[in-house]
A and B are shown apart, each in its own frame.
Chain A
Amino acid sequence: MSMYFTKEHEWVKVAGNVGTIGISDHAAHELGDITFVELPKIGATVTQFGVLGSIESVKAASDIFSPLSGKVTKVNDALETAPEVVNESAEDAAWMAQIEIADTAELKNLMTQDQYNDYLKTL
Chain B
Amino acid sequence: MDEHLQATPICSRHRNLHALMAPFGGWDMPIQYEGIIAEHSWCRTRASLFDICHMGEFIFQGDFESGGLEDVFTFSVKSIPLGRSRYGFLLNEQGGIIDDLIVFRLAGDKVMIVVNAATAPKDFAVIKGRLKGGLFTDITAATGKLDLQGPLSRDVMVAFFGEEVATIPYFKFVTMNILGVETIVSRTGYTGELGYEIFIPAEKVCGLWDLLLTDERVKPAGLGARDVLRLEVGYSLYGSDIDEETTPLEAGLEAFVNFDKTFIGKEALLKLKEQGVTREKIAFEVNGRRSPRHHYAICSAGKVVGNVTSGVFSPILGRGIGIGFVSLENVAIGTPLTISHERVSMEATVCELPFFKDGSVRA
Q: Which of these binds chain B: A1-9, A57-65, A99-107?
A: A57-65
Q: Which residue of B lies closest to A35 (CB)?
A: B313
Binary per-residue interface labels of chain B (248-276) against chain A in the complex, 1 for a CB within 8 Å, 0 otherwise: 00000000000000000000000000000
Determine if B36 and A32 form an interchain contact, defined as CB atoms under 8 angstroms apart.
yes
Asked whether A54 is an interface residue with its Cβ less than 8 Å from the other chain, the reply is yes
What separation, in Å, do the CA atoms of A54 and B344 have in the docked complex?
Answer: 9
Q: Which of these binds chain A: B65-73, B129-137, B285-293, B355-363?
A: B285-293
Q: Which residue of A lies closest to B20 (CB)?
A: A32
Which A residues are in CB contact (< 8 Å) with B36?
Answer: 32-33, 58-59
**The residue from A32, A36, A84, A87 contacting B290, defined by CB atoms under 8 A apart:** A36
Which A residues are in CB contact (< 8 Å) with B169?
Answer: none
Interface band, chain A: 10 to 19
Given contacts A58-B224, A61-B291, contact A36 B344 (CB under 8 A): no
Determine if B289 and A83 form an interchain contact, defined as CB atoms under 8 angstroms apart.
yes
Binary per-residue interface labels of chain A (31-53) against chain B in the complex, 1 for a CB within 8 Å, 0 otherwise: 01101101000000000000100
| B residues 187-239 in Cβ contact with A at 8 Å | 224, 228
What separation, in Å, do the CA atoms of A58 and B344 have in the docked complex?
Answer: 16
Determine if A35 and B228 form an interchain contact, defined as CB atoms under 8 angstroms apart.
no
| A residues 42-97 in Cβ contact with B at 8 Å | 51, 54, 56, 58-59, 61, 63, 80, 83-84, 87
What separation, in Å, do the CA atoms of A115 and B344 have in the docked complex?
Answer: 33
What separation, in Å, do the CA atoms of A60 and B117 have in the docked complex?
Answer: 24
A7 to chain B, nearest CB (A): 20
Which A residues are in CB contact (< 8 Å) with B37?
Answer: 33, 35, 58, 84
Given contacts A56-B313, A58-B37, A58-B312, contact A63 B343 (CB under 8 A): yes
Determine if A56 and B290 form an interchain contact, defined as CB atoms under 8 angstroms apart.
yes
What separation, in Å, do the CA atoms of A32 and B34 have in the docked complex?
Answer: 9
What separation, in Å, do the CA atoms of A91 and B150 have in the docked complex?
Answer: 35
What separation, in Å, do the CA atoms of A84 and B291 have in the docked complex?
Answer: 15
Q: Which residue of A lies closest to B344 (CB)?
A: A61
Given contacts A58-B37, A58-B224, A58-B312, contact A35 B291 (CB under 8 A): yes
Which B residues are in CB contact (< 8 Å) with A87?
Answer: 35
Q: Which residue of B lies closest to A38 (CB)?
A: B290
| B residues 311-352 in Cβ contact with A at 8 Å | 312-313, 315, 343-344
Asked whether B32 is an interface residue with its Cβ less than 8 Å from the other chain, the reply is yes
| B residues 273-303 in Cβ contact with A at 8 Å | 288-291, 293
Q: Which residue of A lies closest to B32 (CB)?
A: A32
| B residues 7-30 in Cβ contact with A at 8 Å | 20
Determine if B289 and A32 form an interchain contact, defined as CB atoms under 8 angstroms apart.
no
Interface centre among A35, A61, A80, A83 (most CB of B within 10 A): A35
Which A residues are in CB contact (< 8 Å) with B291?
Answer: 35-36, 56, 58, 61
What separation, in Å, do the CA atoms of A33 and B34 have in the docked complex?
Answer: 10
Binary per-residue interface labels of chain A (9-37) against chain B in the complex, 1 for a CB within 8 Å, 0 otherwise: 00000000000000000000000110110
What separation, in Å, do the CA atoms of A36 and B169 have in the docked complex?
Answer: 39
**The residue from B35, B288, B290, B343 contacting A33, defined by CB atoms under 8 A apart:** B35
Which B residues are in CB contact (< 8 Å) with A84?
Answer: 37
Which B residues are in CB contact (< 8 Å) with A32?
Answer: 20, 32, 35-36, 224
Which B residues are in CB contact (< 8 Å) with A51?
Answer: 343
Binary per-residue interface labels of chain B (17-56) against chain A in the complex, 1 for a CB within 8 Å, 0 otherwise: 0001000000000011001111000000000000000000
**The residue from B228, B288, B293, B315 contacting A61, defined by CB atoms under 8 A apart:** B293
Which A residues are in CB contact (< 8 Å) with B32?
Answer: 32
Query: Which residues of B pack against A, CB within 8 Å?
Result: 20, 31-32, 35-38, 224, 228, 288-291, 293, 312-313, 315, 343-344
- State the 8 A-B residue pairs at the shortest beta-carbon distance, nearest first: A35-B313, A36-B289, A33-B37, A58-B36, A33-B35, A36-B290, A56-B291, A33-B36
A-B contact pairs, 17 of them (CB 8 A): A32-B35, A33-B37, A33-B38, A35-B37, A35-B291, A36-B289, A36-B290, A38-B290, A54-B343, A56-B291, A58-B224, A58-B313, A59-B31, A59-B36, A59-B224, A63-B343, A84-B37
With A35-B37, A36-B289 known, 8 other A-B pairs at CB within 8 A are: A32-B20, A33-B36, A35-B313, A35-B315, A36-B291, A56-B290, A58-B224, A59-B31
